[in-house]
Amino acid sequence: MAYSSFRVSAKDMTDYYLPRKQNFDYMTQSINQNGYGQIIYNYNGPGDFTVNSVNIYNPDRGDMRIYVPSTDTWYSQSDAGPILWGVTSEEGVNFLQGTVDIKGLAKIKYCNNCQDGNGLPLNTIKSFSDRFGYLKDLKVNYGVTEGYIFYDYNLPLNQRWYPSVYDSVGGSYVFKNYLGTNKSEIALAAETSIPVRDITLSIESSEPIKPETNTSSSIIDCCGLGLKYIIDGVYKIGSTVYTKTDVSAICFQVVGNGTDKPNNFDEYFPYEGFCKDCTSTYPCPKGGDGSSGSSGGGR
């Protein structure tokens, strides 16, 4: 079945999706105005991150600044270190530039095609923001607390979702598409070639969306080189990824998922196969013999 629906409770919207949407809106605006934006998080313990501030373009001042949403306060990049983070001005600026770490903080950089970015692509965060922004609008307009998102997986990735609520007056579900255009169930059925009754059944039997808690993956190289990294993104445990080098590529096996801050920001690509298959395509560099315990053995 190439379609499904998910239920979005009022609590999940308030606690998770709308705050995440707001952060992505900051990033989108800054990227469009000056090429990049950054979210700075407080690390409170395993799996526990809260937003400290955002590093975004301020059009009134014409430069990148630090904004603290919780207090609606702006700081220059040179002031953020001593005022917000308990370090020197130079250390604060270097942290923003990615050359030093500050204990207790983590940073995600969003940009378009920059080499040091480690956040999601612009079209992905815009799609997320639009999806839950449209759902919020529908909830307000129809006076309901519960919403849904219907997915047609035959459509392109960032066009396959339809936020929805139940219209008690009309006695049916109403939707918006990725452009924000209102759709009735009949119109949605015509657009997706999925019968109205199947769309209704999918929504009425939907389960809550479970927000993704993991944000990073632990990897170990397939060649016995002793390379161990934490990379951004959640890859299936046991799967294989590779990163390109000047002459070839190095293969890695995913050994865990979690919320630890990435410590390697190379670009990684999924490989369809195990370590031994990957190293057959991309032979181990000198010093590696493919005998690592992560090589996939005889699987």
Q: What is the pLDDT of residue 246?
A: 73
For residue 93, the surrounding DSSP H or E stretch is: helix 89-97
Query: What is the residue extent of each domain of the chain?
Result: 3-10+123-208, 36-111, 216-281
Q: How far apart are CA 109 and CA 112, in angstroms?
A: 10
Q: Cβ(109)–Cβ(117) under 8 Å?
A: yes
Q: What's the confidence (pLDDT) of residue 293?
A: 39
Q: What is the reported pTM?
A: 0.69
Provide block-wise average pLDDT over 10 residues at a time, the chain (299 residues): 90 92 97 96 75 96 96 96 96 94 90 84 93 97 96 93 96 96 97 96 89 81 92 87 84 87 85 91 76 39
**DSSP bridge pairs for 37:** 110
- 3-state SS, residue 57: strand
CA dihedral angle for residue 226, residue 230, residue 236, residue 237, rounded to 10 degrees: 50
| pLDDT value of residue 195 | 96
Contacts of 185 (CB under 8 A, 6+ apart): 172, 173, 174, 175, 196, 199, 200
Task: Specify the DSSP class assigned to residue 85.
Answer: I
- The pLDDT of residue 248 is 80
